[in-house]
Amino acid sequence: MADKHIDEISGVETTGHEWDGIRELNNPMPRWWVWTFYATIVWGIGYTIAYPAWPMLSEATRGVLGYSSRATVATELADARAVQNVYLEKIAALPLADIQADKELHQFAVAGGASAFKVNCAQCHGSGAAGGPGFPNLNDDDWLWGGDIESIHATITHGIRYDGDADSRISEMPAYAEILQPNEVREVAAYVVSLTGTPSNADLVAPGRQVFADNCAACHGDDAKGSREFGAPNLADAIWLKGEGETAIARQVAQPKHGQMPGWGERLGDATVKQLAVYVHSLGGGE
């Protein structure tokens, strides 16, 4: 039996450990702490009996109270859907103008549209709907097909250049590399840049104006402010979808890139599409 080590100052037995002249006293734990520790053991055993706890081959023990967190979540989700369905049924039945006029319904639609946007639209338009190269900014007032809520709803429902919907928005600019001479492409690009007040090659602007009148004005208009009938963009507002500057514009004139958006009507249903339309219209650029 090992000798006991008694601390000379306190007279208390030590554990026998020493570090740098410091010895650990072997005082007993406080009685309240010991009983608390025992109580937690009893509580833990009781908890595993009352609630699901021990893993078995196919499932965990169910517990004598029959509690299931999964069932609780399922019930809460069902209750939430029941509340949502009241609003969703109203949204599906009402015109967009009536949804906007109802403050409570409008708030619900904006919140639901924001959620649907993050899941289905943010991948292209960005989480803040600011877009990017080739993907339109939905916060500004530059709309190819119209920025009123009915037009936004139609665009979301049927898509753009989407083969799966006969009512999809369709527009396509021809590849002018096959129609114009290379110098004419550069001239019209210089003219388009000049429309925004941006400095461009002055020697090319005058002939570019004539090239524009002969080939582009039919869709973009004589003033180059575009046409929603054709989905032709405004070229005089300095908002560029495919890139700015003479080089980028010349490239788009010669070999245009045409974006595509699927029609979301069949995928999401009318109520969700309406919520998306209300949300996008609320971002600040809606007309």
Q: What is the pLDDT of residues 18-33, one digit of tens each?
A: 788 888 888 889 999 9
Note whether 282 and 274 are within 8 A (CB): no
Q: Which residues contact 284 (CB under 8 A, 6 or more apart)?
A: 139, 140
In a domain, 244, yes or no: yes
Q: What's the CATH number where 110 sits?
A: 1.10.760.10
From 227, 245, 225, select the one nearest 235 (Cα to Cα): 225
Same domain for 78 and 36 = no
- Does the annotation place 173 within a ligand binding site? yes
Residue 277 backbone phi and psi in degrees, to 5: -65, -45
Rg of the Cα atoms in the chain:
35
In a domain, 271, yes or no: yes
Q: Residue 24 corresponds to which tokens in the numbers above?
A: 């650990």
Same domain for 144 and 197 = no
Q: How far apart are CA 272 and CA 117, in angstroms?
A: 10
Note whether 264 and 279 are within 8 A (CB): no
Average pLDDT, the chain: 93
Domains in the chain, number? 3
In a domain, 116, yes or no: yes
Same domain for 247 and 112 = no
The CA-atom distances, in angstroms, between 181 and each of 160, 176, 187 are 30, 8, 10
Same domain for 156 and 97 = yes
> Last residue of a domain, which of 67, 82, 114?
67
- Does the annotation place 1 within a ligand binding site? no
pLDDT tens, 132-172?
989 999 999 999 999 999 999 999 999 999 999 999 999 99
How many other C-beta atoms can be found within 10 angstroms of the C-beta atom of residue 82?
9
Note whether 254 and 178 are within 8 A (CB): no
In a domain, 201, yes or no: yes
Q: Is the pLDDT of residue 98 over 80?
A: yes
This prediction's pTM: 0.77
Its domain, for residue 137, covers 73-168+261-282
> Last residue of a domain, which of 67, 94, 115?
67
In a domain, 287, yes or no: no
- Does the annotation place 220 within a ligand binding site? yes
- Does the annotation place 261 within a ligand binding site? yes
Same domain for 162 and 77 = yes
Same domain for 278 and 150 = yes
- Does the annotation place 29 within a ligand binding site? no
In a domain, 92, yes or no: yes
Same domain for 269 and 216 = no
Q: Which residues contact 24 (CB under 8 A, 6 or more apart)?
A: 14, 15, 17
Q: What percent of the chain has pLDDT over 90?
A: 79
Note whether 237 and 112 are within 8 A (CB): no
